[in-house]
Amino acid sequence: MTLDESVYRLSELACGMEMDVYRLGRMPDDYKPRLQQIRRICNKLLIGEYEVEGTDDADD
């Protein structure tokens, strides 16, 4: 997953959960797996574990 894809996925998960909280008035039933997905993506970003596009000519 590229950096952009990771950030977009984080945004989708967070906004989706936010909308569910507003709609339900509480955390959705599946909030734990969603938070785990968010945490995993954040951890990968923090340690730099993502694909970078256009690095083929980085040595030039």
- Non-local (6+) Cβ contacts of 31 within 8 A are 17
Contact of 51 with 7, CB cutoff 8 Å: no
Q: What is the pLDDT of residue 55?
A: 58
Residue 54 belongs to a domain: no
- Please tell me the total count of domains within the chain: 1
Whether residue 49 is predicted with pLDDT greater than 90 in this model: the reply is: no
Q: Residue 9 belongs to what domain range? A: 3-46
Distance, in Å, from the CA atom of 13 to the CA atom of 23, rounded to the nearest integer, reads 15
pTM: 0.76
**Which structure tokens are listed for 50?**
């993502």
* Nearest alpha-carbon partner for 40 in 32, 51, 28, 30: 32
| CB 37, CB 13: distance < 8 Å | yes
Tokens 């596009």 sit on residue? 53
pLDDT averaged over every residue in the chain: 89
Whether 28 maps to a domain, the answer reads yes
Residue 51 domain flag: no
33 in a structural domain = yes
Whether 15 maps to a domain, the answer reads yes
More confident residue, 5 or 53: 5
